[in-house]
Structure 1
Amino acid sequence: MSEASHLILVTFLSIGLLLYLVLRVKLHPFLSLLITAMFLGVTSGMPLSKVNTAIQNGLGGTLGFVATVVGIGGIFGQILEASGGTEAIARNLIRRFGKDKAHWSLVMAGFLIAIPVYFDVGFIILVPVVYALAKDTKRSTLFYAIPLLAGLAVTHTFVPPTPGPVAVADMLGADLGWVILIGSLIGLPVAILAGPVFGSYISKKIDVAPPKHMMEELNNGTEQSECSLPSFTAVATIIGMPLMLMVVKSVIELLIKLGYMQEGIVYDISVFVGHPFTALIIATLMAAYFLGTRRGFTRKQLLDVSAKALAPAGMIILIIGSGGAFKEMLIQSGVGNVLAEGISATKLPPIVLAFIIAAAVRITLGSATVSMITAAGIIGPILEAYTLSEIHLALIVISIASGATILSHVNDSGFWLVGKYLGLTEMQTLRSWTVMETIIALGGFGIALLLSFFV
């Protein structure tokens, strides 16, 4: 067996080991990815003394950037949630659109909210709004739930600073500003198609009322009055601030590269304030002051909110770090070069391969985050054989995110979360939630692939 064939075989065995450890052994993805990276290094013939060094370098190189972004972003999102900013966006949009078009307002609310807030948190906070609308209008819960879920799912998957796209962008060397811009441009029409359009259709096929036990909890609970919530303008401005700073930085860098601008004080300032670290710190401080201190939060309360945010972020950070170790092992073992030569020979575009790998892991494993970082780890070394623009790299990030969204089913925690809160049977969840996720995946990949021919 040639060396190239041996390395390819080792790669497939490593992916098989990862799936076995997660699915059958039920080992945590963090440990599973580290063990897989070690297995790949040892079986590929790397000196044993270099295996752990590669893992350390991979972890450190990935977490140096990603851990900071995810950590700050987590605190930012937690302050937004605790202050009522999430609910303020939803209520304001519903009031502006009117109840007759509330499904359109919910997709927009989800689209905005999932940028700083985790998907499951945003859904749990806003699902009472869905219940109330379904009860008042006598419509199927899915008429309102699917648009909300589509908006949340699209930006959670496509638009940083959520952990998945941040990790993939870092592993591929893509600029976050371009990922934000491209992800938003692709995500909005996809969210509309998977949300209000599909939601209007499937709600006629599946007529479900809000679960009785959920309505009882809602009636027994306390609900903030609209006047006690922060203003929509303040919340939207704070959410949009870091995104705008990062996008402006990327655009200025492009203008300089094309010769339309010269480096100077404007460039220096944009590079500093548009860096994800600075942009997110500015947004977090704004949220802490305008949504926290100005609205009666004590310093102790803000500290508790920040600490609460870092607990779920820690687990995500470790999984992403172990994915970085796997990627580094692929590079150090020589597998990346072999795969790059093989892909170049087949003429298969990297953007297509990225989608296929992410989709295969997603369908088998269930976890969108693990699917993203596994696909990014494999694709990252391959991209070194190509000369790709920043925009093309951003499109590949969206392609991976799309593949990691497809066909959510019984091995995905999101499948059960949605089914439980909406009172759906497994078959109803497959016909609604799973199809919605697949529309997002195919729509995002289709638009990204089309745009890749022009950049």
Structure 2
Amino acid sequence: MNYLLLLSVFAGIASLLILVLYFKFPAFIALLIASIVTGLLAGLSAQKMIATIQEGMGSTLGFVATIVGLGAMFGAILEKSGGADAIARYLIKKAGQKKSPLALGFTGLIISIPVFFDVAFILLIPIIYAIQKNTQKSLLLYAMPLLAGLAFGHAFIPPTPGPIAVAEIIGAEMGWVILTSILIGIPTVILCGVLFGKMIAKRIFIQSPEQTLEVTPTAGTEHQQLPSFGLTIGIVFLPIVLILLNTCFSAGIFNIKNTFIIQLVAFIGHPFSALVIANIVAWILLGIKKGYSATDLSTISIQSMAPAGAIILVTGAGGVFKQVLVNTGAGKLLAELLLHAGVSVVLFAYLSAAIIRLLQGSATVAMITAASLLAPLLITGMYSPIQLAALVAAIAAGATIFSHVNDSGFWLVKQYLGLTENQTFKSWSLMTLLISVVAGLLSALIFYLA
């Protein structure tokens, strides 16, 4: 056994954690340095190491950069037009006061697909403040379902950056990832958001802050009335439907022989085309038709690239780490060890993401690192598209585990809900642990049944 290869992998992961936790390096630089440490210790020459960086970065970002960029612009237009607010208000109105926690859970699940977690939470927090003041029940009864939906959608369902990056690194098809995540998400949000919210609300009573914290106003109110629910929800699900349609055609579910139709669906159902179409529709119907000028929309789109740029770079660095493991043979050796030890790939996917998330706090870094470790292992086995999608979900589940003080989301929730640290642990942190366990078990179930 080549112990030097194993040592190089552990040294790379250790250097990543030290650089992020102790020296506070940006994740992009830390991942690149970890990749270099792993590669050089494993015996790659300096020239081969440089070539590996280029190969890993290029092969990963060719897909991810396009999707993340288009997804960020799409979400920004939805947010600024008031579309997220329109979805929330409609679902809560239709559900009524008694079922408003369920409506909030599904609101979070839907809105977090195109809109980043923290932005969506800040955008919707005034709604749960208002509901709590009207019902005089604990704020947690409404906040937990919303947060469960937001946390799940952001970590599991494309076109959010995390699952896109993981799917690209391990070679999973986007359509199957979306379908699998939705199937896992519905029961997970109900169990871990709605039911847990009812339980924790009986134990911890929280009122809405008397002086509402400063929140980002819904930009749609600056121009005209909010867009309709039907229009907004149709635009949100447009790219998802197109991608799933292409997946169904590729799987031969529809018995269609017309070559033109098959090629057309393959084109418009590719994630690139689907998101371009969604952006054009959103630009026109949520932008121009609602009073925004082309300059306004251009500014919104450009501003959305700031958070997207950081995620794109981190994803590229994760691709480099994966390529180092492949080129050095360390990934293959790790796969053989796990095989002989009887450790399943789905358990490895979950645990590797969970451990890294607990140690350094960032779910995105945890997902990308875990995917980089997992990808070389998949070369040795034949896995179906559904199994690969389940592995994406398993990684997302692991990376969701127990948000605590090293996670910015912990402090965001504490601040806006007016909780103490202890209350935040008992509510938000415990809820993320439940999401992780439930989603992880469902991912494993799908993996073994597929």
The amino acid across from 1:32 in the alignment is: A
C-alpha displacement at 1:224, in angstroms?
4.1
C-alpha displacement at 1:245, in angstroms?
0.7
Which residues of 2 match residues 143-154 of structure 1 at below 5 A? 143-154=141-152
Which residues of 2 match residues 228-247 of structure 1 at below 5 A? 228-247=225-244
2:180 is aligned, of 164, 179, 182, to: 182
1:443 is aligned, of 438, 442, 449, to: 438
Structure 1 range deviating more: 101-110 or 399-408:
101-110
Structure 1 residues 64 and 263, CA gap change in structure 2 (3 angstroms): farther
The amino acid across from 1:72 in the alignment is: L
Match of 1:138 in 2: 136
C-alpha displacement at 1:225, in angstroms?
10
Match of 2:32 in 1: 34
Match of 1:305 in 2: 300
Which residues of 2 match residues 427-442 of structure 1 at below 5 A? 427-442=422-437
1:334 is aligned, of 309, 329, 332, to: 329
For the residues of structure 2 that align with 1:99 and 1:227, how far apart are their CA atoms?
A: 27
TM-score normalised by structure 1 residue count: 0.96
Structure 1 residues 89 and 418, CA gap change in structure 2 (3 angstroms): same
For the residues of structure 1 that align with 2:69 and 2:205, how far apart are their CA atoms?
A: 40
Match of 2:394 in 1: 399
C-alpha displacement at 1:266, in angstroms?
2.3
For the residues of structure 2 that align with 1:101 and 1:78, how far apart are their CA atoms?
A: 29
* 1:97 and 2:92 are equivalent in the alignment: no
C-alpha displacement at 1:343, in angstroms?
1.7
| 1:148-203 CA distance string (max 9 Å, x none) | 00111111111000000000000000000000000001111101111110001001
Which residues of 2 match residues 415-426 of structure 1 at below 5 A? 415-426=410-421
Q: Is the 8 A contact 2:6 2:334 kept in 1?
A: yes
Q: Is the 8 A contact 1:88 1:226 kept in 2?
A: no
Match of 1:348 in 2: 343
* 1:276 and 2:274 are equivalent in the alignment: no
For the residues of structure 2 that align with 1:174 and 1:156, how far apart are their CA atoms?
A: 18
* 1:71 and 2:66 are equivalent in the alignment: no
| 1:62-98 CA distance string (max 9 Å, x none) | 1110010000000000000010000000000111011
2:189 is aligned, of 185, 188, 191, to: 191
SS at match of 1:385: coil
Match of 1:412 in 2: 407
C-alpha displacement at 1:108, in angstroms?
1.1
Which residues of 2 match residues 365-376 of structure 1 at below 5 A? 365-376=360-371
* 1:381 and 2:381 are equivalent in the alignment: no
SS at match of 1:374: helix
For the residues of structure 2 that align with 1:224 and 1:132, how far apart are their CA atoms?
A: 18
Structure 1 range deviating more: 247-256 or 34-43:
247-256
1:288 is aligned, of 283, 291, 302, to: 283
Q: Is the 8 A contact 2:145 2:194 kept in 1?
A: yes
Structure 1 residues 134 and 224, CA gap change in structure 2 (3 angstroms): farther
Q: Is the 8 A contact 1:178 1:250 kept in 2?
A: yes
Q: Is the 8 A contact 1:79 1:305 kept in 2?
A: yes
SS at match of 2:252: helix
Where do 5+ consecutive residues of structure 2 fail to align? none
Structure 1 residues 445 and 34, CA gap change in structure 2 (3 angstroms): same
| 1:424-444 CA distance string (max 9 Å, x none) | 111100100011111111111
Structure 1 residues 440 and 218, CA gap change in structure 2 (3 angstroms): closer
For the residues of structure 1 that align with 2:36 and 2:240, how far apart are their CA atoms?
A: 37
| 1:392-431 CA distance string (max 9 Å, x none) | 0000000000000001100111001100110111110010
The amino acid across from 1:48 in the alignment is: A
Structure 1 residues 219 and 385, CA gap change in structure 2 (3 angstroms): closer
Match of 1:24 in 2: 22
For the residues of structure 2 that align with 1:31 and 1:223, how far apart are their CA atoms?
A: 38
Count of matched residue positions in the alignment of Structure 1 and Structure 2:
450
SS at match of 1:99: coil
The amino acid across from 1:208 in the alignment is: I
For the residues of structure 2 that align with 1:393 and 1:220, how far apart are their CA atoms?
A: 40
| 1:253-277 CA distance string (max 9 Å, x none) | 1117xx9555722221111111000
SS at match of 1:228: coil
Structure 1 residues 101 and 424, CA gap change in structure 2 (3 angstroms): same
Where do 5+ consecutive residues of structure 1 fail to align? none
The RMSD of aligned alpha carbons is 1.9
Q: Is the 8 A contact 1:46 1:333 kept in 2?
A: yes
For the residues of structure 2 that align with 1:437 and 1:289, how far apart are their CA atoms?
A: 37
For the residues of structure 1 that align with 2:267 and 2:80, how far apart are their CA atoms?
A: 29
For the residues of structure 2 that align with 1:175 and 1:133, how far apart are their CA atoms?
A: 40
TM-score normalised by structure 2 residue count: 0.97
For the residues of structure 2 that align with 1:88 and 1:107, how far apart are their CA atoms?
A: 15
The amino acid across from 1:250 in the alignment is: T
| 1:354-399 CA distance string (max 9 Å, x none) | 0010001011111000000000000000000010000000000000
